[in-house]
Amino acid sequence: MPTKLCRLTWTGDPDSWGFAFYKYSDDRYEPSISLDGSFAGSPESCFDTAAQLYLQ
């Protein structure tokens, strides 16, 4: 079974994506901030934030 970490949302800019964490407690995605304090970022920075918080 795949591990759900986060969801990216297209904003129209290939370098700035919306970011939401997956909440296992209620099976939903919640808009979240990345480690740099923004609600949007590159796909890499969004994944890095989710991976650091969920997988460490």
Q: What is the pLDDT of residues 15-24, one digit of tens each?
A: 999 999 899 8
In a domain, 1, yes or no: no
In a domain, 25, yes or no: yes
In a domain, 23, yes or no: yes
User: Are residues 16 and 41 in contact, defined by beta-carbon separation less than 8 angstroms?
Assistant: yes
For the question of whether the overall pTM of this predicted structure is more than 0.95, the answer is: no
pLDDT reported for residue 56: 73
- The runs of H, that is alpha helices, within the chain are 43-55
pLDDT reported for residue 54: 78
User: Are residues 47 and 21 in contact, defined by beta-carbon separation less than 8 angstroms?
Assistant: no
Backbone angle region of 37, left / alpha / beta, with phi > 0 → left and psi within -120 to 50 → alpha: left
User: Are residues 10 and 20 in contact, defined by beta-carbon separation less than 8 angstroms?
Assistant: no
Structurally, the chain folds into a number of domains equal to 1
Q: pLDDT below 50 — which residues of the chain? A: none
* Domain of residue 16, residue span: 6-55
